[in-house]
Amino acid sequence: MSRLVSWLEDYILPIANRVAQIRWLVALRNAFISVMPITITGSLAVLIKSLINAVDEHWGWHTFAVALSPLVSISNIVWRGSFSLFALFLAVSIGYQLSKTFEANRLAGAIVALGSFMMSIANYAKVKVANKNITLKDTFDISQFSTTGIFSAILFGSIGFAIFVICYKARIKFTINAQMPHAEQAAFDALLPCIISLFSIGAINYAFQLITGTYFGNWLLNSIQMPLVKMGQGFGMVLLVTLLVQVFGFFGLSGLAVLAPILDSIWGTAQNLNITAARNGNVPKYIWGRGSFDAFAWFGGTGGTLILIIAILLFSKRADYRTIAKVALAPGIFNINEPVVYGLPLILNPVYFIPFVVAPIVNVAFSYWVTVMGLVNPVQVAVPSVMPPIVGPFLACNYDWRAIVLCIINMLIALAIWTPFVFAADKIADTNAPRTFFSQNF
């Protein structure tokens, strides 16, 4: 065990540290976090609509459903103003967070990222009228602003901002001697960098359209984004990212933070497509989404540490461990695990390395195949990260009671994995405890 920990510390930890310090990835992670209110709002609209439809179809409460039909209409409007524009909000957030990181004009950076994204998507839409396909020019297909545009928003938002910040830091600007209000001065300082950036992105898109005959956003979606999303549905990929999150967490790094760009862009896209499908009354086609990890494995936070807390309270004989568990229980129910991670501690604690890594992997593997077999709905609603276990999976799977059963089974499996190591930790702590005066002399 000590050799494995030493190897991970020598070879894996330095890589994880370097990744965690890349400012561009940190800003991208913060951008996804910033648009979380939009994601939750759109998912809440889906939940409301699904609940009203469910009580009408399955319970026969037709009068109740008719009475709440205005609420369904309101939810549809909220959807159009929130989740259906996800990529649009993400582009703005990327520009803002990058500007904050690189100390540039934040509003100008957000505008540049948004403009760069808008230039990369097609300005036409195809509609079907009387069994004929008609192309409407100078229009935008709203689906490009949703989850299908995530990679375009990331790529062109980042490239546009990169050009902008280079010019901004090089002080390429109009020199005006007149005294102006701060807002006007800031706008003039960002004017030339903004012009250079947007014209550069425009030139890139023009050249690409001229050579390929298609828009870059469409090519990116079909050639890179969707293949990556489909690859992320593979069992091996799901287990690999679970393993990496746990290993990074063991060394005190937030695996979710380090891998957020990957988790959100690949599995977040799959989940968002499921949400869109559920909203439109279609069957979600992606087995594993970003919220699947939270719903079925990370009970109480990364590593499923709520189960460790329960195991300590049930089986540990040490007063100090039990005290820490009691303090960490309430936060753990709401998926906040810092009290137990740093208080026990779990970080670099070889006793708990195996269950910390293995329990989530077993839970993920079991849940993955249960979902593949159709025994539970895939995650199709984004729920807040502080939603307690059992309740969270039930809502995330769109009111599927089988998600509750799966969650309970996974918690019992995790408890069986954690419990032997709780006993082992007690024995090791007792063995290494300092001997008292009485034990030394009598």
Q: Please, which pLDDT band fits residue 430 given cuts at 50, 70 and 90?
A: low
Which of 21, 52, 81 terminates a domain? The answer is: 81
pLDDT for the residue numbered 441: 36
Q: Please, which pLDDT band fits residue 113 given cuts at 50, 70 and 90?
A: very high
pLDDT for the residue numbered 410: 94
Whether 90 is in a domain gets the answer yes
Q: Please, which pLDDT band fits residue 144 given cuts at 50, 70 and 90?
A: confident
**436 has a pLDDT exceeding 60:** no
Whether 371 is in a domain gets the answer yes
Cβ count within 10 A of residue 285: 11
pTM of structure: 0.72
Whether 352 is in a domain gets the answer yes
Q: Please, which pLDDT band fits residue 435 given cuts at 50, 70 and 90?
A: very low
Mean pLDDT taken over the chain: 83
Which of 228, 259, 289 terminates a domain? The answer is: 228
**409 has a pLDDT exceeding 90:** yes
Whether 5 is in a domain gets the answer no
pLDDT for the residue numbered 4: 57
Instruction: Please enumerate in sequence order all residues whose Cβ is within 8 A of that of 323, keeping only pairs 6 or more positions apart, or say none.
Output: none
Same domain, yes or no: 176 and 283: no
Domain count, the chain: 3
Same domain, yes or no: 250 and 162: no
Q: Identify the domain containing residue 52 by its residue range.
A: 35-81
**9 has a pLDDT exceeding 80:** no
Task: State the Cα–Cα distance between residues 399 and 392, nearest whole angstrom.
Answer: 10
Same domain, yes or no: 99 and 69: no
**16 has a pLDDT exceeding 70:** no
Q: Quickly count helices (H) and strands (E) in the chain.
A: 24, 2
pLDDT for the residue numbered 437: 31
Same domain, yes or no: 242 and 111: no
Whether 27 is in a domain gets the answer no
* Listed range (278-282, 355-359, 387-391) with the worst mean pLDDT: 278-282
pLDDT for the residue numbered 432: 57
Q: What percent of the chain has pLDDT over 70?
A: 89
pLDDT for the residue numbered 438: 30
Using one digit for the tens of pLDDT, what is the confidence trace for 56-68? 766 677 777 788 8
Question: Among 295-304, 308-317, 382-391, which range has the highest average pLDDT?
Answer: 308-317
Same domain, yes or no: 216 and 256: no
Whether 354 is in a domain gets the answer yes
Same domain, yes or no: 183 and 262: no
What is the three-class DSSP state of 133? Answer: strand
Same domain, yes or no: 112 and 210: yes
Instruction: Please enumerate in sequence order all residues whose Cβ is within 8 A of that of 48, keeping only pairs 6 or more positions apart, or say none.
Output: 71, 72, 75
Task: State the Cα–Cα distance between residues 8 and 298, nearest whole angstrom.
Answer: 22
Same domain, yes or no: 300 and 329: yes
Same domain, yes or no: 185 and 223: yes
Same domain, yes or no: 313 and 263: yes
**239-259 residues labelled b (16+ CB within 10 A) or e (exposed):** eebbbbbbbbbbbebbbbbbb
* Listed range (27-36, 156-165, 188-197, 366-375) with the worst mean pLDDT: 27-36
**11 has a pLDDT exceeding 80:** no
Taking only Cα atoms into account, the Rg of the chain, rounded to an integer number of angstroms, comes to 25
Same domain, yes or no: 151 and 213: yes
Same domain, yes or no: 253 and 367: yes
Whether 104 is in a domain gets the answer yes
Q: Are 47 and 381 in contact (CB under 8 A)?
A: yes
Whether 16 is in a domain gets the answer no
